[in-house]
Structure 1
């Protein structure tokens, strides 16, 4: 799987574990994650 998709899924899991809505996102610029 794409590493950026995996990072977004992991962010969603973290959010859900904290009692929130399981939505995750990452901002990618020139092949690097610059925001979560």
Structure 2
């Protein structure tokens, strides 16, 4: 795995966590896998 792949993975997780937080604020049930 390259450093770029690790960075992209980390960014992807940040984006997913941010989206989940926004959904929770909107009152949706969020299941984090």
TM-score range, shorter chain: 0.5 to 0.7
Higher strand share: 1
Larger-gyration structure (1/2): 2
Larger relative CO (CA 8 A, sep 6+): 1 or 2?
1
After superposition, the CA RMSD in angstroms is 2.2
Q: How many residues align?
A: 24
Higher helix share: 2
Q: Any unmatched runs of 5+ in structure 2?
A: 1-6
After the TM superposition, which parts of structure 1 deviate over 3 Å for at least 4 consecutive aligned residues?
none
TM-score, normalised relative to structure 1? 0.54
